[in-house]
Homo-oligomer: A and B are copies of this chain.
């Protein structure tokens, strides 16, 4: 899975990275979907232990351009996990109230507690992405935020939080197809946001901003993975694999009872 890991401080050029599935992958689409489903069930079992153990907090961050598949990936990776142990936090445009606080205020409120998986659908990274591309703040403000973000994530990690960050990588052509299908398909009309078409015109600037995000904020304690996402089935397979692998290695186990009721017979 290291193929998709961004090493700390490595220079990233997303335009040189394939957004299609790895040609070395031996299976078919159907086999990938089947394997993903099997791992989904394992994820559910692992989360059940995490919830019982109440030791680790798990934070999964999803970022990507419009139509890169964040909603779909979250559904397909976590759809089999007990909803009691998983919480999805969506970060849209900040409200007036949120804007009157520091940029991490609304984020920090939603981080996971012990035994919980929290998924961020967009996140504090928007404050160095959209804020940068749309010139919402002067450069010195958003540039400082890379360090503030790393410090914040380091603090969370030191307080028993496992952090994984997924950038869903699609090609400009794949985005075109998906946005067009929203226009053509009445059941997808509700998803249309004229801003997406405007943002598409700034494709290159967004990619450049993402290059910096990946370069400056992929750390040992909160690594980024660039997930090839033109094929949804491949995207789901890779994310589920990385996540399951990580949770397996945590060697979680059910705690023993706090009480000694060995052999007690309930009458």
A interface residues (Cβ-Cβ under 8 A, vs B): 54, 57, 97, 100-105, 108-109, 111, 113-115, 141, 144, 148, 151-152, 154-156, 158-159, 161
Nearest CB of chain B from residue A51's CB, rounded to whole Å: 12
Contact A141–B158 (Cβ < 8 Å): yes
Contact A103–B151 (Cβ < 8 Å): no
Contact B141–A113 (Cβ < 8 Å): no
Contacts beyond the supplied A101-B113, A102-B159: 20 A-B pairs with Cβ under 8 Å: A57-B102, A97-B113, A100-B114, A101-B111, A101-B159, A102-B111, A102-B155, A102-B156, A103-B159, A104-B155, A105-B108, A105-B109, A105-B111, A109-B109, A144-B158, A148-B151, A148-B155, A151-B151, A151-B152, A151-B154
Chain B residues near A111 (CB-CB < 8 A): 101-102, 105
Chain B residues near A54 (CB-CB < 8 A): 100
Nearest CB of chain B from residue A150's CB, rounded to whole Å: 9
Contact B108–A104 (Cβ < 8 Å): yes
Chain B residues near A108 (CB-CB < 8 A): 104-105, 108-109
Closest-by-CB residue of B relative to A114 is B100
Chain B residues near A158 (CB-CB < 8 A): 141, 144, 148
> In the bound complex, how far is the Cα of B105 from the Cα of A105, in angstroms?
9
24 contacts between A and B (CB under 8 A): A57-B101, A57-B102, A97-B113, A100-B113, A100-B114, A100-B115, A101-B113, A101-B159, A102-B155, A102-B156, A102-B159, A103-B159, A104-B108, A108-B108, A108-B109, A109-B109, A144-B158, A148-B151, A148-B154, A148-B155, A151-B152, A151-B154, A151-B155, A152-B152
Chain B residues near A57 (CB-CB < 8 A): 101-102
What 3 A-B pairs come out closest when comparing CB atoms? Answer: A102-B159, A151-B151, A100-B113
> In the bound complex, how far is the Cα of B103 from the Cα of A155, in angstroms?
9
- Name which of A57, A100, A103, A161 has the most chain B CB atoms within 10 A of its CB: A100
Closest-by-CB residue of B relative to A156 is B102
Chain B residues near A104 (CB-CB < 8 A): 108, 155
